[in-house]
Structures are given as structure tokens and as C-alpha cells.
């Protein structure tokens, strides 16, 4: 598990510029899942160079959240948008759980995206809130996880958790991304992911890999140069049409993530 320290911060909830979200709440800086394709370190411009070995926790995060919420009008909160809220540290620190209690009491709807079945721990809260949960399902192939998402839960446990949430009546979606050509873009993969979405009444959001400089650097250490070239030159138009066709055939609603 990542070690952690505390980081000073002025506020913990921000106005969102992302579609469908009024606010974002990010209690952690850094993410112990350490996905190779994660472009958050690029956005942090070197401010957090020990990713993913060290994660920072915002200082007095729940106290700050409590007082900030009091001054805000209720609106949908994205939890969280720059790390996985249910990364391994959350099992120990339970900050997201504390935040959900505050959002529940203040009647703020929440929209959560994760790769971790740990979200099921908070099902008792999510059930009584206006809540939706998205699971990132990149591939059914455990090898994909081992290469690209070494610190994240395996795909089958994510699917079981998605099923559990859906059965409990929580609105769910699957985030199929990032799509890395040659690794998780096969017809079989698409059909299985859309099939899971149909079974769990989830919508599908899809997205391609974002090859920012640090992402390229990490990928180069893990996959051959030929693959890197193919990924850089890939034209996603036809692939997106395949995803959409498959979704239409299975009655699944889908759209590009951004």
C-alpha cells in the first residue's frame, strides 16, 4: 500500500467544469492504483513526482468539507475526479465514507467513479442518497490489469461489485477506457463489456488513451516500440462505430466520455 502524508489545502470542494457535475470533491492527491495510463501526474506538472508510491491526504478534509457545504447550494458532486476515491488507503482512513455522510445530511447528490469493490462498504449510505456509481472496466483480461493497472482490483471483482450495486438499485455506468489499441479493443472485449452493461442496466461511456508525455514514458517501459507507434497512429472512428453498434443491438445507452 502507498504511504501517505498530509497536504495543506485552502478548500476541498470545487466548482466543476465537467459535464453533469456541479462540484468536485477530491480528498486525496495521488492514487495508489498507479495505472500506467493515468494522465493525472501530467496535469500536476511535477508537483507530485512520487506517484503512486506516496499519496497525500488533504489536511482536516472532513472539517473543511463540513463548513464549505454549509455555504453551498446542493448540486451533484463528482467523487473524485483526479484520483480513485476507493483507492487502498480509503479502507484505512474512511474519508470518503465520512464525506458521504455529510453529503447525505446536506442532500447533495453524488456521482462516484472507481475501480474498487470497496465502494460496497458504503452501500448503506448510497442506498438512501441520490447516488450513481461508475466502474472503470478496461478489459476482462487479467493480463491487461497486470500490465496497465498493477495496483487496481482485478476485473472480475469490479464486475461483481457493479452487479451488487445494480441489484441494490443504485444507478450504474461502465467507463470503458482508456481504450489502448492492440490491448483492449477487440470485438470480443467490446461485446463482453456491452453485455455486462446490458445485464446490469448500466450505460457505457468510452474513451481513448490520452498520450500525454509522462503516460508515453511509462508505457514505453512496459510495451514494445511497435505497439507504441501503432497506438499513436490509431484512428478511433471505426472502433467507436463498433462500440455504438454493439450498444444499439443490446439496448445499452452509450456515449463518448468527454
Query: Site for ligand SF4 (CB under 6 A): how many residues?
Result: 10
How near is the Cβ of 245 to ligand SF4 at its closest, in Å?
Answer: 27
Residue with Cβ nearer ligand SF4 (23 or 28):
28
Residue with Cβ nearer ligand SF4 (16 or 83):
83
**Contacts to ligand SF4 from residues 217-256, by CB under 6 A:** none
Cα–Cα–Cα angle for 106, 72, 20, nearest 5°?
A: 85
Which three cell numbers mark 255?
456515449
In order, the DSSP letters of 97-144 are HHHHHHHHHHT--EEEEES-GGGGGGHHHHHTSSEEEEEE---S-HHH
Q: Does 83 bind ligand SF4 (CB under 6 A)?
A: yes
Cell 444507478 found at: 171
Q: Which of 27, 48, 78, 84 binds ligand SF4 (CB under 6 A)?
A: 84
Instruction: Sketch the per residue contact string, 134 through 163, with ligand SF4: x for CB under 6 A, - otherwise.
Output: ------------------x-----------
How near is the Cβ of 106 to ligand SF4 at its closest, in Å?
Answer: 26
DSSP H helix total and E strand total for the chain = 11, 11
Question: Hey, how many other C-beta atoms are within 10 angstroms of the C-beta on 144?
Answer: 16
Q: Cα–Cα distance between 113 and 109 in angstroms, integer? A: 14
Q: Does 180 bind ligand SF4 (CB under 6 A)?
A: no
Q: Which of 38, 95, 161, 197 binds ligand SF4 (CB under 6 A)?
A: 38
Q: Does 35 bind ligand SF4 (CB under 6 A)?
A: yes
Q: Does 33 bind ligand SF4 (CB under 6 A)?
A: yes
Closest to 90 measured CA to CA, from 59, 122, 51: 122
Amino acid at each position: 500500500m502507498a504511504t501517505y502524508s498530509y497536504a495543506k489545502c485552502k478548500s476541498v470542494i470545487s466548482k466543476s467544469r465537467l459535464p453533469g457535475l456541479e462540484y468536485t470533491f477530491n480528498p486525496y492527491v495521488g492514487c495508489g492504483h498507479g495505472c500506467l495510463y493515468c494522465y493525472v501526474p501530467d496535469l500536476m506538472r511535477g508537483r507530485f513526482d512520487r506517484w503512486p508510491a506516496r499519496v497525500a491526504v488533504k489536511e482536516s478534509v472532513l472539517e473543511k468539507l463540513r463548513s464549505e457545504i454549509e455555504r453551498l447550494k446542493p448540486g451533484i458532486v463528482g467523487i473524485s475526479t483526479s484520483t480513485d476515491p476507493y483507492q487502498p488507503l480509503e479502507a484505512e482512513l474512511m474519508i470518503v465514507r465520512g464525506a458521504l455522510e455529510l453529503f447525505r445530511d446536506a442532500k447533495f447528490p453524488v456521482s462516484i467513479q472507481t475501480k474498487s469493490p470497496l465502494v460496497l462498504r458504503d452501500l448503506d449510505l448510497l442506498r438512501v442518497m441520490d447516488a450513481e456509481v461508475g466502474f472503470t472496466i478496461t478489459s476482462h483480461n487479467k493480463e491487461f490489469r497486470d500490465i496497465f493497472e498493477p495496483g487496481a482490483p482485478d476485473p472480475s471483482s469490479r464486475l461483481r461489485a457493479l452487479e451488487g450495486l445494480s441489484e441494490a438499485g443504485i444507478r450504474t455506468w461502465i467507463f470503458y477506457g482508456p481504450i489502448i489499441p492492440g490491448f483492449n479493443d477487440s470485438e470480443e472485449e467490446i461485446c463482453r463489456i456491452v453485455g455486462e452493461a446490458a445485464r446490469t442496466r448500466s450505460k457505457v461511456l468510452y474513451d481513448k488513451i490520452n498520450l500525454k508525455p509522462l503516460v508515453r514514458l511509462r508505457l514505453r517501459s512496459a510495451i514494445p516500440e511497435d505497439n507504441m507507434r501503432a497506438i499513436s497512429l490509431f484512428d478511433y472512428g471505426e472502433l467507436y462505430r463498433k462500440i455504438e453498434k454493439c450498444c444499439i443491438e443490446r439496448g445499452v445507452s452509450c456515449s463518448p466520455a468527454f
